[in-house]
Amino acid sequence: MDFVTYWNSLTWEKAFRIYWYFFIFELTRFVTLEYVVLWRWKYRRRRDRDKYQEATFRLFQEAPFVSIIVPGKNEGKHIYKLAKSLQNQTYRNFELIVIDDGSDDETEKICNTLSKNGFIDLFIRNYVRGGKASGANLAFRYSKGDIVVHLDADCSYSNDAIEKILVPFYFEPNIGAVGGNVQVRNESESLATSLQSIEYQNVIGSGRVVTSELGIYRIVSGAFGAFRRDILDRLGGWDIGPGLDGDITVKIRKLGYQVRFAPDALCVTSVPNTFRKLAKQRRRWDKSLIRFRVRKHKDVFVPNKAFQIPLFLSFVENVTFNLILNVKWYLYIVDMMINFSNMLGTIILMNLILYTLANYFKLIFFAPFRTSFRESWLGQVIYVPLSAIYTGYFLRIVRTYAYIAELLFKSSYKDPWNPGKTSFYAKARRI
Amino acid sequence: MNVKLKKPAETGLKSDKVWCHHELRFYLWDNLDPIDVFNLSDYDAVIISSQNVDLIKEKVKRFRSWSSSEIHLKPLFIIGSGSLINDPMVKGLVDGSLVSESHIDGIADVVRRIHSRKMKLDARLPSTFEGQLVNKLLGFAYTRSLEEINPVLNKESITGYVYPMLSINFLREEEGTQYQILNLMEEEGLLDGSFQDRVYICPSCSSGFLNYREVCSKCSSTHLHADDVVHHFPCAYIGPMKDFDSDGSGDLQCPKCDKLLHHIGVDYDKPSVVHTCQSCGQIQQNTPVHASCYSCETTVPTEQLQPTEIKSYTITKKGLHVAMNGYSNSEIDTDVVHGAVDLTTFSTILNMEVERASLLGSAKSCLGIINLHNVNQVYNQLGENGAYKLMTELVELVKSSAGRADMICFERAENLLLLQNEISLQEALNTLRSLKLLFNRLFEDRFPNGGVEIDTRSQLLTGGKNAQWHLNELHNAN
């Protein structure tokens, strides 16, 4: 009853004073701007249909040799399924290289068997774990392809995924890398996976279409990314992670190459099925923003000879909407607590309603722009209200924790995701 | 000590080659002696005299591989230095050594013991090669009181191991067959094997002299180059050693970040090894191992090599029984063939006939044998009932050509004995010749692919000798 009274008493001025954060940042950036850009992308896509077909034709005519590399630890159980799905690809001129980064399960046995039976072209086992970057680099060292496609073993790929991720190299000049569209496989497994599924659709399905269209696309996903061999040669492959996907994307852009997102190049992956596991994964991802954007590649902000506006904007957008606004959100809460303390509960509820409405808008109106395995988005309708809590509170708190841990303690260098022997040097060299 | 020279006239051999010791006669077989081995059957033992180890080996092998038990079971010694029989192959085939002629007393008992045990053996020669080898091996072990038949490591053997008394019967390239014989004997309960070793032999020629090589998984080339994979921790570069030592100086420098590598385990490590095929360029880590045979040049993956267990064998009671009574690889009971008498009855009648011949003096009787080589294949083809029918038919054929009073016996499924009374040797041979023709015609008409071969022999009965002696003589006659 109080809330109805409050709603009726709300004027535009008052609403803007209290919910400025939503109107200025969330509604403008993630709804309005994205919606406009998506229409532009749709228009250009329709306009360039013939050009896209021509690029596809050229791809098959030239048929560049592609090296599909799959580094990983204890991933043996996924490899057969992956190799089988690759055998059904529309683009077939590729080799499959699997690197076992010091697995302690049956991976070696499984991969040796698959290798003998022709499912894998090259299998190399490192008896000592060296980390994701060294695994990828070893595969790259022995690859022969003109284009290198980096995959995660636990992903599944649509039959034309390899073709679709290669076409952009023939569609536009100066493309250095192309990222694939990673979606959630296990969305119905738990509440955590359902919420991540909505998030992936927004952040990757449509969000990366937008950033790619704006020229500020910043992460070619390690789960599905294609790279030109000559560029990887110049870079010497991947650097130590975590966050090596974003790092190499930045390095490619620094060399002056374009990076594109291929929404039709679909793959699905299994995401963490509990909030605890999810928090752990996101802490690792979020720390990399500080480590790579703020520290390692801070030169992007410096207006020197190598200064690039799109790269600068990409960093600004990334840092602003993740780091600065994260801080700003806490300031906003403090502001509300000081100035509107008697209505704090109502304001939080109102915020949730606004975010939920925005999310429903995106679910419905962004649907025509999404490319997905999913037949219908209707199943997600019931999760949308929770999605506001998930992104607005859960992810924000995790992110805050990660930023603080990284800014104050450089905790990413202690992350067991990477072997200590490599993190030690990464920290010493500030990379 | 009682050594005397035998008179040359009695042997037709040079007198200085024959030593007599009491009732025993030893033949001294020296380097240049061109004597044929079969001429040595008249002596109780043979002593090889040579300083040449290779020549000794050759003589021992020739002697022991002889088909007649009168030769291959005969006591055999070496005179000279004891070091001459250090060769494990020779050691397993001779009965001892003596330093000089004056030591002959020391081996006389050995000779007597061997002869005494040899007399208990059934001297009949099985028709199959396998059967002959079984008899030979068991006979040798029995006469030497050997409880075990042991494998001997031998670099000259194609499989690396020999069972001396068995291996000498094969050409080097056929030595693998010895394991089949031993397996057969073990399966039939004649030997009891215990594991000693396992060898892998060529599936094509049974040779154990194999060259094991890592080969390219793609083109099978042996031209592979192995390189350590080096991981530089600071920059995550990883690649073969050659990437880091491009100038060949030995100093390792990272091709990605140009830093010098200092300490393994500190700033770099070597997590694996990668092989590069120099023929086709294939990169691989798990190179298959192929074995190339030195003998027939066949190359096969090691998984296809034939694993062969090397065993020590003890002779079972059944084996001892077979050693004394002879081996037959047919399971057919020859005692129940219609129209023929069983072997015991035949031996009794044979003894009586010998006695009658001795008493009458002028009585002439002949003992003949018809060997049916490879007939077991035909029996297997026919099955048990068919085999009995065929044997009955053969007996009828013999009856149709022989006299009414003549005795017929299937000694084994592979040979028939025929005791013919009041007949000259020539007549007996003629009868056997016509039977051979009839048998040949029968087998050629009905079993053209059977491969059965017939041979016949006959001999006059000798007074004062028993049935066993006559049967031995018949089997050992060439």
Q: What ipTM does the predicted assembly reach?
A: 0.86
The residue of chain B nearest to residue A235, with distances taken between CA atoms, is B256
Do B283 and B152 form a contact (C-beta atoms < 8 A)? no
H-type alpha helices, B65-163: 69-72, 88-91, 104-118, 129-143
DSSP calls for A318-368: HIIIIIIHHHHHHHHHHHHHHHSGGGHHHHHHHHHHHHHHHHHHHHHHSGG
The interface residues of chain B toward chain A in range 192-251, judged by CB-CB distance below 8 A, are 217, 229, 231, 233-240, 243
| Reported confidence tier of residue A251, pLDDT bands at 50, 70, 90 | very high
Q: Does B338 touch chain A (CB under 8 A)?
A: no
Q: Does A102 touch chain B (CB under 8 A)?
A: yes
B221: left (phi over 0), alpha (psi -120 to 50) or beta: beta
Select the residue of B231, B257, B286 nearest A112 (Cβ to Cβ). B286
Q: How confident is the model at residue A119, as a pLDDT? A: 93
| Reported confidence tier of residue B473, pLDDT bands at 50, 70, 90 | confident
Asked if the model's pLDDT at residue A83 lies above 70, the reply is: yes
Q: Do A126 and B256 touch (CB under 8 A)?
A: no
Residues 6+ apart with CB under 8 A from B161: B151, B152, B153, B154, B197, B199, B208, B310
Which is nearest to A321 in space by CA: A249, A396, A394, A398? A396
Q: Do B269 and A137 touch (CB under 8 A)?
A: no
The residue of chain A nearest to residue B288, with distances taken between CA atoms, is A116
CA dist., res. B100 & res. B94, Å (int): 16
Q: How confident is the model at residue B84, as a pLDDT? A: 65
Q: Which residue has the tokens 């006669």?
A: B25
The pair phi, psi for residue B373, each rounded to 5°, is -70, 140
Q: Does B267 touch chain A (CB under 8 A)?
A: yes
Could you give the domains of chain A? 2-39+305-428 (no CATH), 44-274 (3.90.550.10)
Q: Does A67 touch chain B (CB under 8 A)?
A: no
Nearest CA-CA distance, residue A141 and chain B, Å? 6
Do B218 and B282 form a contact (C-beta atoms < 8 A)? yes
Chain B interface, mutation test: which of A103, A248, A422, most B Cβ atoms within 10 Å?
A: A422
Do A171 and A51 form a contact (C-beta atoms < 8 A)? yes
| Overall size of chain A counted in residues | 431
Asked if the model's pLDDT at residue B312 lies above 70, the reply is: yes
Residue B438: CB atoms within 10 A of its CB come to 15
Select the residue of B238, B284, B285 nearest A130 (Cβ to Cβ). B238
CA dist., res. B269 & res. A12, Å (int): 65
The residue of chain B nearest to residue A102, with distances taken between CA atoms, is B271
CA dist., res. B198 & res. B185, Å (int): 19
Mean pLDDT of B287-300: 92
Select the residue of A126, A142, A236 nearest B237 (Cβ to Cβ). A236
- pLDDT tens readout for residues B369-389: 998 887 877 887 888 788 888
Nearest CA-CA distance, residue B225 and chain A, Å? 15
Select the residue of B234, B238, B271 nearest A425 (Cβ to Cβ). B234
CA dist., res. A241 & res. A172, Å (int): 30
Asked if the model's pLDDT at residue A212 lies above 50, the reply is: yes
Give chain B's mean pLDDT.
85
Q: How confident is the model at residue A206, as a pLDDT? A: 83
Select the residue of A115, A128, A240 nearest B236 (Cβ to Cβ). A240
Q: How confident is the model at residue B100, as a pLDDT? A: 81
Strands, DSSP E only, in B278-404?
Answer: 283-284, 289-293, 299-301, 306-315, 365-373
Q: Which residues of A fall within a CB distance of 8 Å from B267? A: 425
Q: Do B271 and A126 touch (CB under 8 A)?
A: yes
CA atoms within 13 Å, Cβ hemisphere of A233: 9
Between A6-20, A160-174, B275-289, B443-457, the lowest mean confidence (pLDDT) is in: A6-20
Q: CA torsion angle for B421, B422, B425, B429 (degrees, to 10)?
A: -60
Residue B457 parent element (H or E): strand B453-460
Residues 6+ apart with CB under 8 A from B267: A425, B232, B233, B234, B259, B261
CA dist., res. B224 & res. A386, Å (int): 60
CA A414 distance to own-chain centroid: 23
Select the residue of A126, A240, A421 nearest B272 (Cβ to Cβ). A126
Q: How far is CA B338 from CA A14, A62, B237, B348, B406, in A?
A: 126, 87, 90, 19, 15
Query: Is residue A73 helix, strand or coil?
Result: coil
- pLDDT tens readout for residues B206-258: 888 999 999 998 899 999 999 999 999 989 999 999 999 888 788 899 999 99
CA dist., res. B90 & res. B87, Å (int): 5
User: What angle (nearest 5°) sits at the alpha carbon of residue A92, between those of residues A88 and A97?
Assistant: 90
| Overall size of chain B counted in residues | 478
DSSP calls for B137-155: HHHHHHHTT-SEE--EE-T
Select the residue of A122, A238, A425 nearest B233 (Cβ to Cβ). A425
DSSP calls for A388-402: HHIIIIIHHHHHHHH
Q: How confident is the model at residue A374, as a pLDDT? A: 61
Looking at chain A, the whole-number percentage of residues with pLDDT higher than 90 is 49
CA dist., res. B28 & res. B31, Å (int): 10
Which is nearest to A319 in space by CA: A334, A332, A302, A301? A301
Print burial letters for B214-235: b (CB count within 10 Å at least 16), e (below 16).
ebbbeeeebebeebebbbbbbb
Nearest CA-CA distance, residue A10 and chain B, Å? 58
Q: CA torsion angle for B421, B426, B431, B433 (degrees, to 10)?
A: 150
The pair phi, psi for residue A285, each rounded to 5°, is -65, -45
- Strands A258-269 and A175-184, by their bridges, are parallel
Do B355 and B304 form a contact (C-beta atoms < 8 A)? no
Q: Which residues of A fall within a CB distance of 8 Å from B217? A: 116
Q: How confident is the model at residue B230, as a pLDDT? A: 96
Could you give the domains of chain B? 3-118 (3.40.50), 129-207+306-324 (1.10.10), 229-281 (no CATH), 330-476 (3.30.70.270)
More confident residue, A292 or A45: A45
Kindly list the strands in the beta sheet with B365-373, ordered across the sheet, starting from the edge strand earlier in the chain.
B407-412, B415-421, B365-373, B453-460
Q: How confident is the model at residue B170, as a pLDDT? A: 87
CA dist., res. A58 & res. B73, Å (int): 86
3-state helix, strand, coil in chain A (%, to 5): 65, 15, 25
The residue of chain A nearest to residue B238, with distances taken between CA atoms, is A138
Mean pLDDT of A122-128: 94
CA dist., res. B220 & res. B289, Å (int): 9
Q: Which residue has the tokens 């009374």?
A: B421
Between A364-378, B258-272, B389-403, the lowest mean confidence (pLDDT) is in: A364-378
Which is nearest to B268 in space by CA: B248, B292, B251? B251
Query: Is residue A13 helix, strand or coil?
Result: helix
Asked if the model's pLDDT at residue A339 lies above 90, the reply is: no
| Reported confidence tier of residue A406, pLDDT bands at 50, 70, 90 | confident
Q: How many residue pairs bridge chain A and chain B with CB atoms within 8 Å of each other? A: 77
Q: Do A130 and B237 touch (CB under 8 A)?
A: no
H-type alpha helices, B406-456: 425-446
Kindly list the strands in the beta sheet with B191-201, ordered across the sheet, starting from the edge strand earlier in the chain.
B148-149, B306-315, B191-201
Between A294-303, B391-400, B440-449, the lowest mean confidence (pLDDT) is in: A294-303
| Reported confidence tier of residue B4, pLDDT bands at 50, 70, 90 | very low
Q: Does A422 touch chain B (CB under 8 A)?
A: yes
